[in-house]
Structure 1
Amino acid sequence: EVPFFDNLFGSERNNYDKVGHFFQGFVPALLAREILLRKKVVNGRGWLITFVISVCLAFSAFYELIEWWVAVLSGENAEAFLGTQGYVWDTQSDMGLALFGAICSLLVLSRVHDKQLKNVKDYL
């Protein structure tokens, strides 16, 4: 219940959690990209992008599964824990925002990341 996010852009729900789900894709994209490049796991930019986005979506899906398991175990308090606020597409929009965050991360930071990796001695 973060006041700034109440009725933001005409929404009837508080969308503070959506910011977190965006960064749930944005940050892991950097980590996955770094590991895949340093370990030379994939060849080609297309495969790199595919695997980075796949890792981010897998991370987001696993988080959603954890939320579901906790909701099942908590019983009556599931709605309060999940914070869906009556939005039936909450899980899908959470994962969509993680996807959007991963894509934004790749678009905005890939060049900077490549330049930084050139300065690392153990990366060829």
Structure 2
Amino acid sequence: MTKTVDNDPKFILLGGFFLVALLIYTGLHAYDFLTWCMEVAPVIIALPILAATYRTFPLTSLLYWVIVLHSIVLIFGGMYTYARVPLGFEIAQWLDLTRNPYDKIGHFMQGFAPALIAREILIRGNYVNGRRMLNFIVICIVLAISASYELIEWGAAVWMGQGADEFLGTQGDIWDTQSDMFFALIGSSVAIGFFSGFHDKLIKKVGQNENSR
């Protein structure tokens, strides 16, 4: 098989090293270290799992790069706290918003990335028959993940009291939980609606590579 930039292990390894370096830098410069720890926990958990499964269950190149992108969003959200990310203030100014919307980018990615992850696992494992049922189950999985995250935020609020404000990032919005889940739904819908065809081709390519071993 001829290696290209998208499937060369060296580029995937480079992505991993980049995330580790970013974790170290942002951890040292975090606005609130406890908030940083809670926000980047998914990245810290995911990196060893991805490294351990790379040879036995390599993912498509699309999925690896989407995970890197999602991780970057999480890491900077942890460094500044979501209500203080500079990019969010720029977007708020462009769109004339009253709050920093960076957390909505995070929840969009919370739908986008898990949708592709769930989709790839379900297709490659032959767990679901039929595209409509596949799409339905993927969206259900995304909403379950989103709801679970909101429960974690609720638990943090109960445990930490006012100290959880930076982690919650509601910015006074009483509908923040509902809008977070809505943006996760949008993210999953975009992933399915616009990337399914490309994703299918990459999954087929990965399957052919595994069969040729």
Aligned: 1:54 with 2:140: yes
**In 2: Cα distance, 1:26 partner to 1:109 partner:** 10
**In 1: Cα distance, 2:118 partner to 2:106 partner:** 18
**In 1: Cα distance, 2:134 partner to 2:150 partner:** 24
Aligned: 1:28 with 2:114: yes
Aligned: 1:95 with 2:181: yes
Deviation at 1:118, TM superposition (A): 2.0
1:75 aligned residue (161, 168, 191): 161
Deviation at 1:78, TM superposition (A): 3.6
- One-letter amino acid of the structure 1 residue matched with residue 176 of structure 2: D
1:16 is aligned to: 102
Any runs of at least 4 consecutive aligned residues in structure 1 with deviations exceeding 4 A, and if so which? Answer: none
Does the aligned pair in 2 maintain the 1:30–1:105 contact within 8 Å? yes
Q: Deviations over 1:34-93 (max 9, x none)?
A: 011011111111100000001111111111111110011011334343111110110000
**In 2: Cα distance, 1:8 partner to 1:34 partner:** 36
| Range that drifts further, 91-100 or 8-17 | 8-17
* Cα RMSD, aligned residues only: 1.6
How many equivalent pairs are there?
A: 123
Q: Deviations over 1:66-124 (max 9, x none)?
A: 1110011011334343111110110000000000000000111100011112222358x
Deviation at 1:18, TM superposition (A): 0.6
Tell me the TM-score normalised to structure 2 length: 0.54
- One-letter amino acid of the structure 2 residue matched with residue 48 of structure 1: L
Q: Structure 1 residues 114 and 28 mapped into 2: Cα distance closer, same or farther (>3 Å)?
A: same
| Identical-pair percentage | 50
Structure 2 residue ranges without an equivalent (≥5): 1-83
1:107 is aligned to: 193
Q: Structure 1 residues 50 and 67 mapped into 2: Cα distance closer, same or farther (>3 Å)?
A: same
2:204 is aligned to: 118
**In 1: Cα distance, 2:182 partner to 2:111 partner:** 9
Structure 1 residue ranges without an equivalent (≥5): none
- One-letter amino acid of the structure 2 residue matched with residue 92 of structure 1: Q
**Secondary structure, aligned partner of 1:14:** coil
